[in-house]
């Protein structure tokens, strides 16, 4: 049984009321509920945290070092300038999937640059909440492959 850490950065607690033309009307509670259901179905542990504070996200990434196989993160605006978040992800060396609800490349120029992307396994951008669910499936694939490798090593 593996573990996935799901992190939502600043302002994502406002989903549902925040710029619905860009982010849709779904709330973070609804997204998290769906992710919980997927985790139960796949029998994988998940921890979900939303924070508006950079340090809280850093602490969660540091804690993950001990027990987490994959991190899924929507860093919100931190995406574009938080070297601290980038260094934390690089530091724990846990495969990380970067998710954005909106297509960051189709918006203001400053959103086209992610300081997280170079240390992420990959990025999903522009598919709304479906991006989180796709990231979850990708994370499951990573965990299953890791377990297969362990089995091969044991044989």
Q: What is the per-residue binding string for ligand DQA in 35-74, x denoting contact by CB under 6 A?
A: ---------------------------------------x
Selected binder of ligand DQA within 32, 48, 111, 133 (CB under 6 A): 111
**Known catalytic residue: 23?**
yes
The token pair at 152 is: 């091969």
Cα–Cα distance, 149 to 155 (Å, whole number): 10
Cα–Cα distance, 96 to 72 (Å, whole number): 6
Backbone angles phi, psi at 124, to 5 degrees: -120, 125
Q: Which of 8, 23, 42, 80 is catalytic?
A: 23
The token pair at 76 is: 């919100």
The size of the interface with ligand DQA (CB under 6 A), counted in residues, is: 10
Stretch that binds ligand DQA, among 36-44, 55-63, 96-104, 115-123 (CB under 6 A): 96-104
Q: Helices marked H in 20-129 — which ranges?
A: 20-23, 28-42, 54-64, 83-92
Q: Which of 142, 89, 138, 93 is nearest to 115 (CA)?
A: 89
Residue 107 beta carbon to ligand DQA: minimum distance, rounded to whole angstroms: 7
Query: Of 77 and 147, which CB lies nearer to ligand DQA in the complex structure?
Result: 77
Which residues of this chain interact with ligand DQA, rule CB under 6 A?
A: 11, 74, 76-77, 79, 100-102, 104, 111
Residues with catalytic roles:
23, 100
């Amino acid at each position: 049984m593996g573990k996935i850490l799901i992190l939502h950065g600043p302002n994502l607690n406002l989903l549902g009321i925040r710029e619905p033309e860009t982010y849709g009307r779904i709330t973070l509670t609804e997204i998290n509920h769906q992710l919980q259901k997927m985790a139960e179905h796949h029998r994988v542990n998940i921890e979900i945290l939303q924070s508006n504070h950079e340090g809280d996200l850093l602490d969660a990434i540091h804690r993950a070092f001990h027990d987490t196989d994959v991190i899924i993160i929507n860093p919100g605006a931190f995406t574009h300038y938080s070297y601290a978040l980038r260094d934390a992800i690089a530091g724990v060396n846990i495969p990380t999937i970067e998710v954005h609800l909106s297509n960051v490349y189709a918006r203001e120029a400053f959103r086209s640059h992610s300081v997280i992307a170079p240390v992420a396994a990959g990025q999903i951008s522009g598919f709304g909440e479906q991006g989180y669910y796709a990231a979850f499936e990708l994370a499951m694939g990573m965990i299953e492959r890791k377990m297969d490798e362990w089995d091969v090593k044991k044989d």
